[in-house]
């Protein structure tokens, strides 16, 4: 597998217009990225632009705060799948996590996974707001809820992915779930280091830059 196979090429900016999303998708086709990651309203245009290609469409839900009701998140996830998304990147309810409402956090993840069936669910734990003990617990809850991935960050918090967080997450999930490093991955060397630490996916808006830096 090459670096492109690990990349979710991402544009989640609130100001992203249709042309921006089409450009994102065209770049994903050109470089052979695994997926694009977009806001829910942009799923239909991404799906249309990527038709007849192997590039998948991932959509974020409960983004970026995670503080919506479970019912709203489930509806949003199902709507994105119905519009053509093949993967869902959800933000946990960080306030619940900080309040030690662990059953509620797990039940919400489980409800979303159940609603989307065999589609991929990535759980964004937003590491910048959690203690190490909370990060470990969040990973445990994601596994218990049958999530496919745990993911470091939205890219909209106070910090993004770190090597230390990925090592900690890997120590908890092992082979029970995959890991997505996201937030601040802007050069090839950093991306390669994350892959060596065991991540299966990298969320970045700098995908073309990373590929252009690749040694011939």
Active-site residue list: 89, 151, 180
User: Residue-wise over 161-193: b if at least 16 C-beta within 10 A, else e?
Assistant: bbeebbebbbebbeeebbbbbbbbbeebebbbe
Do 50 and 30 form a contact (C-beta atoms < 8 A)?
A: no
- How far apart are the C-alpha atoms of 150 and 169, rounded to whole Å? 8
Please report, to the nearest 10 degrees, the dihedral formed by the alpha carbons of residues 75, 149, 19, 62 taken in order.
Answer: 40
- Structure tokens, 151: 């993911």
């Amino acid at each position: 597998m090459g670096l492109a196979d690990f990349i979710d090429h991402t544009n989640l900016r609130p100001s992203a217009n249709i042309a921006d999303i089409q450009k994102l998708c065209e770049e994903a086709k050109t470089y052979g990225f695994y997926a694009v990651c977009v806001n829910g309203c942009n799923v239909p245009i991404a799906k249309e632009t990527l038709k007849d290609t192997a590039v998948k469409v991932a959509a974020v839900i409960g983004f970026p705060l995670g503080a919506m009701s479970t019912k709203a998140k489930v509806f949003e996830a199902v709507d994105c799948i119905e519009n053509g998304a093949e993967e869902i990147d959800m933000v946990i309810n960080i306030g619940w996590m900080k309040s030690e409402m662990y059953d509620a956090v797990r039940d919400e993840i489980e409800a979303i996974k159940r609603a989307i069936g065999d589609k991929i669910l990535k759980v964004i734990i937003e590491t910048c707001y959690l203690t190490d003990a909370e990060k470990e617990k969040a990973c445990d809850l994601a596994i218990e809820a049958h999530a496919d991935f745990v993911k470091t960050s939205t890219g909209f918090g106070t910090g993004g992915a770190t090597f230390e967080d990925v090592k900690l997450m890997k120590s908890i999930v092992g082979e029970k779930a995959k890991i997505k490093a996201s937030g601040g991955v802007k050069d090839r060397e950093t991306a390669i280091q994350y892959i060596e630490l065991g991540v299966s996916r990298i969320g970045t808006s700098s995908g073309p830059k990373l590929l252009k830096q690749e040694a011939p």
